[in-house]
Structure 1
Amino acid sequence: MNPTALTVHQKSRVLDIAFDDGREFSLPFEYLRVFSPSAQVRGHGQGQEVLQVGKREVGITGVEPVGNYAIQPTFSDGHNTGLYSWDYLYKLGSEQATLWADYLARLQAAGFEGDSGRAPGAVLAGGATAAKGCGHNH
Structure 2
Amino acid sequence: MAGLTAGAPTPQSITVHEKSRMLELVFSDGAHFSIPFELMRVYSPSAEVMGHGPGQEVLQTGKREVTLTDLAQVGNYAIQPSFSDGHASGIYTWDYLYALGRDQEALWQRYLDRLQEAGVDRDAPMIARGQKSGCSGH
TM-score normalised to the size of structure 2?
0.81
Q: Which residue of 2 aligns with 1:9?
A: 17
Number of residue pairs matched?
116
The one of 30, 33, 54 equivalent to 2:41 is 33
TM-score normalised to the size of structure 1?
0.81
Rounded to whole Å, the distance in 1 between the matches of 2:107 and 2:115 is: 12
CA contact (8 A) 1:6 1:17 kept: yes
Q: Which residue of 2 aligns with 1:70?
A: 78
Please state if 1:19 is matched with 2:58: no
CA contact (8 A) 1:37 1:83 kept: yes
SS at match of 1:74: strand
Structure 2, gaps ≥5 residues long:
1-8, 125-138
Runs of 4+ deviating beyond 4 Å: none
CA contact (8 A) 1:104 1:113 kept: no
SS at match of 2:30: coil
The one of 56, 64, 69 equivalent to 2:64 is 56
- Please report the RMSD computed on the Cα atoms of aligned residues, expressed in angstroms: 1.2
Q: CA deviation at 1:115?
A: 3.0
Q: CA deviation at 1:7?
A: 0.3
Please state if 1:89 is matched with 2:105: no
Rounded to whole Å, the distance in 1 between the matches of 2:62 and 2:117 is: 15
Structure 1, gaps ≥5 residues long:
117-138
Percent identity, aligned pairs only, is 61
